[in-house]
Amino acid sequence: MSEHAATVERYLAGHRNGDIAQIGACLHDDVVWALHGDKTLTGRPAFEAECQHDGPSPVLFIDQMLESGEAVAVRGRGNVDMGGGVPVDFAFAEFFTFAGGLISRLDTYHVWLGG
Number of domains forming the structure of the chain: 1
Phi, psi at 60, each rounded to 5°: -125, 140
Backbone angles phi, psi at 56, to 5 degrees: -70, 155
Query: 59: domain range?
Result: 3-112
pLDDT tens digits, one per residue of 36-58: 999 999 999 999 999 887 678 89
- pLDDT for 83-100, tens place per residue? 888 899 999 999 999 999
Per-residue pLDDT of 62-80, as tens digits, reads: 999 999 999 999 999 999 9
- The single-letter code of the amino acid at 9 is E
CATH for 98: 3.10.450.50
- pTM of this structure: 0.93
Helical spans, DSSP H, in the chain: 3-17, 20-24, 44-51
